[in-house]
Amino acid sequence: MKQQYRRRATRRTSTSTRPTPLLIASGSYPPQARAARPPLNEMTPDQLRTWIGSTRAALERKKARERAYLDYRARRGTSTPTDEAYEADQQLEADLLAMLDEFEWYVALMES
């Protein structure tokens, strides 16, 4: 006689993978943004330069880590939709790095 097993229902907690949008117009920020830094318009030029530098360094590390992962996957001949999304992210990250460069230039203009 074949035994039948009943699947036990498991309860999973849902986790959101979408970032909380910044509500700039209303002046309210998600808890992560408040803890990470003060609003940009309240920073001094020195604070802005420090924030730009640390953000740039973190973004460059992230970009390099993803590039190494993509190169490893390519050597193995593996490609998934996630790999394609990471590839698109590489261009977005390059654009964000260029934006930080421009932002740093504007901060320098603020002081002159």
Amino acid residing at 77: G
> Do 94 and 63 meet the contact criterion of CB atoms below 8 Å apart?
yes
Count how many domains the chain has.
1
The Cα–Cα gap between 1 and 37 comes to 66
In the prediction, which pLDDT does 10 show?
58
Average pLDDT for runs of 10 along the chain of length 112: 58 54 51 72 94 97 97 96 96 97 94 82
Its pTM stands at 0.66
Q: What is the extent of the structural domain holding 54?
A: 42-111
- Residue 22: inside a domain: no
In the prediction, which pLDDT does 26 show?
47
- Residue 61: inside a domain: yes
- Residue 70: inside a domain: yes
Structure tokens at 13: 């907690």
> Do 71 and 19 meet the contact criterion of CB atoms below 8 Å apart?
no
In the prediction, which pLDDT does 36 show?
75
- Residue 56: inside a domain: yes
The residues pairing with 28 across neighbouring beta strands, listed in sequence order, are 23
- Residue 68: inside a domain: yes
